Structure 1
Amino acid sequence: MITSRLEQAGPPWFGAVMGTGIVAVATTSFPVPVPGLRVVGTVLWLLAAALLVALGVLVVRAGAARRRRGDRPDPSDLPFLGAPGLGLLTVGAGAVELGPGLFGEPAAAALSWTLWSSGTVVVLVVAVWVPFRWISRPGSATDPAPAWIMPVVGPMVAAADGALLIGHTPGPAAASTMLLVCVALFGLGVVSALALLPRVLARLGTAGLALADTPTVVIVLGPFGQSVTAANLLAGQAQGLLPEPFAGVAIGAGLLYGAPAWGFAVGWTVLSAVLIGHALRRGMPFSASWWAVTFPLGTLVTGTNALAARTALPPVVGAAVVLFAVLVLVWVVVAAATVRSALSDVADEIGPARRSVRA
């Protein structure tokens, strides 16, 4: 059982890296001081980094085994090809925020730059290649589903994570260039997501989702939560790099865009929670799709943290605290289900082996 599961490992499982890493990153911008929270974030970041390496090795080996058997790629996995890149970006964001406490700021920044650069290349290649594949090979695209958002949310994540590195560039010219690159990535992510969203929503309204795929409905949340985060982080960096009135316009844009995008994200979160609860009552089985809940919800948390830092309004700070608590609870539930499923697979495989030895 566990052998067959390992042979089927694919990009969707990088959701575990993304989900664990986003919880770690969210601890660094939490608007209320909590003793020990940074330590917890550091532990989770190290766990995410370990998962990134382990899953990288596992997925490469599983892919090689499938090619040797001559198995054809599953078209439903195509939108998830950017998940490894998103894992690199998430761990990279944690490196620049949490790494200095472990091995110093220069090494942490260097690691973050490496992960950001490699992750950005991956998500950009996927953002172009997946639509090319859909267009150039009729029939290779499945029906529009929330997973379609995955290939285009990558540039948005790269924009937000890149904003954290602007302060680690060698000089104002390099910092301004990095700011422009991140704004361009932001635009690519926003426009692409808005172009795909109507088709995804129309399909959801007419055909719904398979029971096991219900958690993926939360993926729609990703571009909105992440764009709120990116808009406000980039606005903060613009204050030191752009002259007035452009710096002030950037701050205003972060709020004027962030507030309505945040409102949609919260509404979609509530709808997703109702849909997932309904699916659980109908017997929704555990799968890698459960991890699809954690990262998008985490982007809403980081976006809310950014708005709380920008406005200092008590209701926004309160919302940040509540949403972070929900994120932690969801991560614990999904992580526990993952461990329980893995232990069940091990037991299923060891049991027959022991019986055969006794016989």
Structure 2
Amino acid sequence: MNTAYNPTVAAAQPVTASKTSIKNLPINLFGSVMGLAGLGLAWRLSGQYYGVGGTLGEAIGVLAGLVFVLLALGYLTKWINHPEAVRAEFDHPITSNFFGTVAIAVLLLSAVAGPHNEWLGQALWILGSALTVLLAGLVVSRLLSGPQDSSNAVPAWLIPGVATLDIALTGAHMPMAWAAEFNLFALAVGAVLALVFFTRIFSRLVHETPLAKGMVPSLMVLVAPFEVGFLAYTNVFGEIDRFASVLFYFGLFLFVVLSVKVFRRDVPFAPSWWAISFPIAALSNAALKYAHAQDSTVLTVIAAAILLFLTVALTVLLVKTLISLFSGKLLAN
């Protein structure tokens, strides 16, 4: 059989054009809100500790809120017009974990808004906490319902577990009488789930086939349990002890190791790249807090370097996402 390229036949074949539709809005794009909110909180900390970047942090926080509103309206429209697409994402064993990014985004925005409007901050925290506990319960129940495909044990599994840690991270100073016990509950659930899921994911990465290139950026999610855990633990107990130091340093170690694997030119841009944003934002906030507590010049330089790297990385991601949106590629099927 002659399989040579025939320009006449090729020209006669119909070309299917990509269609742009809100149906194709991916749930994992809410990770951008997590990253931007985390970046804003990091610059706010920098302003509090070192007098640099406080105003920038508040501006980034406003941007995070705006992006969340736009994404929420877009995804609500998708839900109304294409409920089958939303159901498919929620039923998918991997994509379903990214619904946790919505709950985490609400929790982080509660921390962004709290200093400016106490009532709004508390309302967002309660809403985010309720969504987080509900989602964590659903995910765990699904995993315990029967045999799971081991190839689905990917870093995104950690998102619902890490989400419960974010309750304690953002709610340590809530004035409600029940908040202290609820934060301990959230810290307990998040810590154990993160430990169990991290162990299973690490085993899968070591013993089974590598992740597809499109999922490589999500490797950075492995940093999140340790840095979010550090922030949640120190917020709840009010001190940085040796255990907190262990959490911080292991998260920093993982960031260095994983950066070599994640930041590669052969991994093309996609919304999945936003998976790097919140873990590094959590590391940045943790590094700033730890450096300030230890009053160490070396640690301060490391914290500043991480914050600058995060700022540049999210700027690049934001620009690439906007280019992809306005070119029609982001919502194309």
* TM-score when normalising by structure 2: 0.86
Q: For residues 87 and 111 of structure 2, what CA distance do their matches in structure 1 show? A: 35
Residue 161 of structure 2: aligned partner = 152
Structure 1 position 11 matched with structure 2 position 27: yes
Q: What is the alpha-carbon distance in structure 2 between the residues aligned to residue 142 and residue 299 of structure 1?
A: 27
The question of 1:45 aligning with 2:61 is answered yes
The structure in which a higher percent of residues are helix is 1
Q: Which range is displaced more, 339-348 or 290-299?
A: 339-348
- Mapped partners of 1:137, 1:233: distance in 2: 37
Counterpart Cα distance in 2 of 1:133 and 1:154: 17
Cα distance in 2 for partners of 1:208, 1:141 equals 12
> Partners of 1:91 and 1:258 in 2: how far apart?
24
Cα deviation for residue 310 of structure 1 reads 2.2
1:127 aligns with 2:113: no
Q: 1:340 is aligned with what amino acid?
A: I
Calculate percent identity across the aligned residue pairs: 22
Q: Aligned residue for 1:29? A: 45
Give unpaired runs (5+ residues) of structure 2.
Answer: 1-16
Residue 111 of structure 1 pairs with residue 120 of structure 2:
yes
Shift of 1:71: 7.0
Q: Which residue of 2 aligns with 1:242?
A: none
Distance 1:124 1:38 in 2: 32
Q: Which residue of 2 aligns with 1:255?
A: 241
Query: How far apart in 2 are the matches of 1:150 and 1:41?
Result: 24
Report the alpha carbon displacement of residue 54 of structure 1 after superposing the two structures with TM: 1.2
Aligned ranges 1:179-258 → 2 under 5 Å: 179-205=180-206, 206-236=208-238, 251=239, 254-258=240-244
**1:198/1:346 Cα in 2 relative to 1: closer, same or farther (>3 Å)?**
closer
Which of 259, 273, 294 lines up with 1:290 in the alignment? 273
Equivalent position of 1:81 in the other structure:
99
The aligned counterpart of 2:9 is none
* 1:264-285 residue CA offsets vs partner (Å, 9 max, x unmatched): 111111122111233x2x2x22
Q: What number of residue pairs does the alignment pair up? A: 311
Report whether the alignment pairs 1:336 with 2:330.
Answer: no
2:79 corresponds to 1:63: yes
Q: Supply the distance in 2 between the matched residues of 1:146 and 1:75 (Cα, whole angstroms).
A: 12
Give the secondary structure class of the aligned counterpart of 1:209: coil
CA 346–212 in structure 1, closer or farther in 2 if over 3 Å, else same: closer
Deviates more, 1:63-72 or 1:301-310: 63-72
Alignment equivalent of 1:90, drawn from 101, 105, 108: 108
| Partner Cα distance (2:69, 2:331) in 1 | 26
Q: What is the CA–CA distance in structure 1 between the aligned matches of 2:153 and 2:331, rounded to whole Å?
A: 36
| Closer, same or farther: CA 115–140 of 1 in aligned 2, 3 Å | farther
Quick check: 2:136–2:161 contact (8 Å CA) kept in 1? yes
Structure 1 contact 134–141 (Cα < 8 Å) conserved: no
Is the Cα contact below 8 Å between 2:33 and 2:68 reproduced in 1?
Answer: yes
1:161 — aligned with what? Answer: 170
Distance 2:132 2:85 in 1: 28
- For residue 354 of structure 1, what is the aligned residue in structure 2? none
- C-alpha separation between the residues in 2 aligned to 1:85 and 1:277? 27
Deviation at 1:337, TM superposition (A): 1.2
Q: CA RMSD in A?
A: 2.4
Q: Which amino acid aligns with 1:268?
A: L
Specify every segment of 5 or more residues in structure 1 that has no aligned partner in the other structure, as ranges: 100-107, 237-250, 350-359
CA distance in 2, matches of 1:71, 1:156: 26
Contact 2:228 2:282 in 1 (8 A): yes
What is the letter of the counterpart of residue 217 of structure 1? Answer: L
3-state SS of paired residue (2:152): coil
* Cα contact 2:36–2:63 (8 A) shared by 1: yes
Change (3 A) 1:5 1:295: farther
Partner residue, 2:284: 301
Q: Is the 8 A contact 1:156 1:189 kept in 2?
A: yes
Q: CA deviation at 1:6?
A: 2.4
- In structure 2, the CA distance between the partners of 1:5 and 1:255, relative to structure 1 (3 Å rule), is farther
**Is the partner of 1:4 in helix, strand or coil?**
coil
Alignment partners' CA distance in 1, 2:111 and 2:151: 32
Structure 1 stretches of at least 4 aligned residues deviating more than 6 Å after TM superposition: 346-349
Deviation at 1:68, TM superposition (A): 5.5
Relative to 1, partners in 2 of residues 1:130 and 1:336: Cα closer, same or farther, differing over 3 Å?
Answer: same
Question: Which residue of structure 2 lines up, in the alignment, with residue 267 of structure 1?
Answer: 253
Shift of 1:216: 0.3
